């Protein structure tokens, strides 16, 4: 049998026009819960734009936009329990803010201060991983610890489609399958690994097919549909907690912005493709559904955006009020006990800083 003979149907609740295609999951069968899910997406979009503005004005370093991908993180965050562990990559703001991470902490990290990943209200989740796919290995290790301790917990780790081309990814899903680890691997297939399209990364019919080699469950979900993402992740997390059963989820989305603020996607991406993707984006779809089925008004929407903007404004003010990190402090946390050569590097760096004022 060939891989192409296996079909992974894309799970969807809301079609591109915002019409419900199947009954709502019981956990979301109330207007309040649906609005809560929408609020997370709006908050993430508003934060994203503010972060880009900070970078453009020199107040922050390189930043990876999550525009168009908010439904994935929103659905994941709502499905996770407090006792679960998130091992994120760099487009997981929507999940992180649901797990207690402060917006100013995220800004602080992208501002170049690693104390931004020392979360005030979240001691279990891992920090943002910028190296590609290495976080999958960490997730497998956490999953092993949970199984060893016989705990009813699960791990969620995320990555982009480009990460599935790395050995770290394959090794992690393989060991998760071989050792029955409670890990759910979520791949945000936003179609572009920086400038490399999916078609040049893999000959597999879908990313979900990669689950077959690892002997784990594979699923495909519409990543522009927050309800579908929630339902799939919710079911798989429950299975992981109770049966130590790993899974791979391919969430189909599209990166509407540049890969990061250091990128110019117009150099490699056709405008008609981008325009078509904008018509499928998650916030418009979800708002349309709320307006047609949940009595959501234009006034409601304006009030929500105003609240989210106010929250971001306070986060930016808090970020800008944080004292600068002491020069050379980043050397102090590489090892528990600094080595002699590291101390020499620190002193040389401090001397250089002093010379240049």
- pLDDT, tens digit, 9 for 90 and up, residues 35-64: 999 999 999 999 999 999 999 999 999 999
DSSP SS3 for 220? strand
pLDDT attached to residue 332:
87
Question: 132-142, pLDDT tens digit by residue?
Answer: 999 999 999 99
pLDDT at residue number 303 = 98
pLDDT tens digits, 240-266 = 999 999 999 999 999 999 999 999 999
Task: Give the CA radius of gyration of the chain.
Answer: 21
Please say whether the beta carbons of 224 and 15 come within 8 A: no
pTM for the model stands at 0.95
Instruction: State how far the alpha carbon of 218 is from the alpha carbons of 74, 181, 201, 214, 235, in Å.
Output: 20, 15, 19, 10, 13
Q: Could you report the per-residue pLDDT of 273-289, keeping only the tens digit for each?
A: 999 999 999 999 999 99
- pLDDT recorded at residue 3: 63
Question: Can you tell me which residue has the tokens 């998130």?
Answer: 86
The β-bridge partners of 157 are 87, 185
What residue ranges in the chain does DSSP mark as E strands?
Answer: 10-11, 85-87, 155-160, 183-189, 192-193, 196-197, 217-222, 247-252
Which candidate, 268, 320, 289, places its Cα nearest to that of 54? 320
The per-residue pLDDT of the chain, averaged, comes to 96
pLDDT score for 56: 96
Please provide residue 87's backbone torsions phi and psi, each rounded to the nearest 5 degrees.
Answer: -120, 90
Does the pLDDT at position 329 exceed 80?
A: yes
Q: Which residue numbers are catalytic? A: 255, 259, 268
User: In this predicted model, what pLDDT tens digit does every residue of 294-328 receive, in sequence order?
Assistant: 999 999 999 999 999 999 999 999 999 999 888 88
Q: Is the pLDDT of residue 292 over 60?
A: yes
Q: What is the pLDDT of residue 354?
A: 86
- Rounded to 5°, angle at Cα 237 from 232 and 242: 135
| Predicted confidence (pLDDT) at residue 111 exceeds the cutoff of 80 | yes
pLDDT of residue 2: 60
Q: How far is residue 341's CA from residue 354's CA, in Å, rounded to a whole number?
A: 20
Could you tell me what percent of the chain has a pLDDT over 90?
Answer: 92
Pick the more confident residue, 336 or 272. Answer: 272
Q: Which residues face 184 on adjacent strands?
A: 156, 247
Task: Give the confidence band of 90 by pLDDT, cuts at 50, 70, 90.
Answer: very high
Is the pLDDT reported for residue 1 higher than 60?
A: no
- What pLDDT score was predicted for residue 326? 86
């Amino acid at each position: 049998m060939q891989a192409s003979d296996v079909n992974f149907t894309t799970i969807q609740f809301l079609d591109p026009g915002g019409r419900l295609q199947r009954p709502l999951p019981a956990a979301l069968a109330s207007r309040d819960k649906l609005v809560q899910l929408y609020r997370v997406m709006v908050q993430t979009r508003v934060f994203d734009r503010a972060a880009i503005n900070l970078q453009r004005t020199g107040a922050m370093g390189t930043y990876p936009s999550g525009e168009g991908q908010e439904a994935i993180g929103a659905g994941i965050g709502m499905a996770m329990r407090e006792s679960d562990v998130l091992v994120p990559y760099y487009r997981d703001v929507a999940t992180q803010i649901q797990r207690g991470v402060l917006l100013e902490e995220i800004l602080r990290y992208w501002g170049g201060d690693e104390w931004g990943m020392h979360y005030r209200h979240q001691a279990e989740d891992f920090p943002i991983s910028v190296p590609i796919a290495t976080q999958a290995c960490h997730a497998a290790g956490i999953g092993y610890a949970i199984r060893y301790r016989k705990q009813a917990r699960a791990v969620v780790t995320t990555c982009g489609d480009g990460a599935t081309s790395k050995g770290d990814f394959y090794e992690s899903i393989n060991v998760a399958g071989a050792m029955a680890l409670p890990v759910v691997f979520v791949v945000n297939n936003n179609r572009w690994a920086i400038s490399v399209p999916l078609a040049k990364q893999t000959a597999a019919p879908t990313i979900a097919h990669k689950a077959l080699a690892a002997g784990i469950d594979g699923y495909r979900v519409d990543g522009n549909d927050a309800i579908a993402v929630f339902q799939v992740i919710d079911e798989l997390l429950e299975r992981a907690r109770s049966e130590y059963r790993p899974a791979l989820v391919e969430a189909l989305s599209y990166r509407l912005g540049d890969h990061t603020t250091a990128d110019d996607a117009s150099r490699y991406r056709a405008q008609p493709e981008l325009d078509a993707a904008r018509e499928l984006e998650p916030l418009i779809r979800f708002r349309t559904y709320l307006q047609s089925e949940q009595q959501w008004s234009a006034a409601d929407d304006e009030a929500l955006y105003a609240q989210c903007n106010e929250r971001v404004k306070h986060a930016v003010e808090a970020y800008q009020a944080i004292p600068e990190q002491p020069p050379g402090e980043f050397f102090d946390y590489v090892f528990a006990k600094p080595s002699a050569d590291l101390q020499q590097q620190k002193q040389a760096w401090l001397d250089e800083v002093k010379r240049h004022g």
